[in-house]
Amino acid sequence: MNRRRVEQCVENLCQKGCRAVWSDIDALEAGSALPEVDGLDAREVAAVIAELKEVMAVYKGSCAADTPRLQAMPRYQRRA
């Protein structure tokens, strides 16, 4: 598994904003193809989903109005 590709994919998805990430997690779990995961194998996609869920755990199912983009949150704060 290429961790760098997984991390880059997560960063790209997070730049879309909080609400879009929730939608993308749902789509990926349903097996939908997203351009951001094109070229990743099944294990890498599963890793992307897991990392996105870790990031989004901070929001507990919602998005704060003042945090429209996840990239504003430093990486060390996003990882458990």
Give the whole-angstrom CA distance, residue 35 versus residue 64.
26
Alpha helices, DSSP H, located in the chain:
3-14, 18-29, 42-56, 75-78
72 band by pLDDT with thresholds 50, 70 and 90: very low
Residue carrying structure tokens 């904003």: 17
Token pair recorded at residue 66: 């003042």
**Among 76, 28, 26, which residue's Cα sits nearest to residue 48?**
28
- pLDDT value at position 77? 42
Summarised one tens digit per residue, pLDDT across range 10-25 is: 999 999 988 899 999 9
Q: What span, in angstroms and rounded, lies between the C-alpha atoms of 76 and 46?
A: 21
pLDDT digits (tens, 9 = 90+) for 13-56: 999 988 899 999 999 999 998 999 999 999 999 999 999 999 88
Number of domain units in the chain: 1
- How far is CA 51 from its chain centroid? 6
Range of the domain at 26: 3-78
